[in-house]
Amino acid sequence: MRKFAAVALLIVAASSSWAAVPMSAAGDGHDTVPVYVDGKGPFPFILDSGADGSAVYSWFAEQQHLLRSDQTEELSGQTGAAQVALYRLGDVALDGHHLGRISAYGLPNRHDSGKEAGILGNDFMDGSVVAYDFPCRRIEFHKKPINEAKVIGPGPAPVEAGIDGGTSLLTLPVTINGFTGIAVLDTGSRNTRLIPAFAQAAGIDAQSAQFRDGEAIYGANSNKMTPRDGPLGKVAFGGVEIAEAQGQIIDLPMLEQDFGGKPAMLLGADLLARYRLLYDHQAHRIWLRLSGCKS
């Protein structure tokens, strides 16, 4: 999870009440959306509820000759903090939605096969209710105010989300095998990730034969960490329940720090993949609905 504190100085409203953009596979387990930067593109960006603001990868900043600030700033990621460069972007656009004059973090290049250009965070999504329709492979931006009956539709009541202290990231309760802990909603994380304290409380033994070493993650500080992949059991959140969920156990410094060692996790895109996730970051509300498409 990323605590991007990029500064947005100008937001230009959407040109229509709602718009839909396709989700495309990045080749590393992430989904991306087509984004224009300073009038050029489209480029593949991750639309990330687990990021406060925007960021670009080093290869993209170099390729596009982005203007680099004289300043650096500390960035806190899943595997720890790092001092990173800042880049100035004139305009970032996604199908009529614009975020202008921003300072974006520079991220080290990925260690996997992904070719993402960067990340759009909550700063870009504010002002809209965003529908991540994973089975339909699209993302919709509904400019606020919305017609809730039409956009949200029938189903469980919204989750009145909490906030991860020191960030703008939304949290919600998640129950695993009868034990309830706190989760950060992180659509930019390919996998759901529990810290060991949550796994232990939920009766999950990451050292058992059912688990195996997963693909290493690196984070903003390029610190290699290897999760344990395996069965989590019964997982429930936002009015839905997954009977035989899979996930990862990993000791993430960021979650340990933010929640004082209490049972915590990242709720990633893997467990959201069957659903239509409706996300109002400004109002701290989350809805989960069945999609009209088959997963």
**3-state SS class at 103:** strand
CA distance 32 to 36: 13
Q: What residue has token string 């290699």?
A: 224
How do the pLDDT tens digits run along the chain, 295 residues long? 455 444 443 333 333 457 899 999 998 989 999 999 999 999 999 999 999 989 999 999 999 999 999 888 877 777 667 788 999 999 999 988 889 988 899 999 988 877 899 999 999 999 999 999 999 999 999 999 999 999 999 999 999 999 998 889 999 999 999 999 999 999 999 999 999 999 999 999 999 999 999 999 887 777 789 999 999 999 999 999 999 999 999 999 888 888 988 999 999 999 999 999 999 999 999 999 999 998 7
Q: Residue ranges of the alpha helices (H) in 153-230? A: 196-201
Answer for the pair 102, 123: CB distance below 8 angstroms, yes or no: yes
In the chain, what are the domain boundaries? 8-149, 156-290
| 8-149 CATH | 2.40.70.10
CA distance 212 to 291: 32
How high is the pLDDT of residue 17? 59
Answer for the pair 263, 181: CB distance below 8 angstroms, yes or no: yes
Q: What residue has token string 């919600």?
A: 172
Q: Is the CATH code 3.40.190.10 the one for domain 156-290?
A: no
pTM listed for this prediction: 0.92
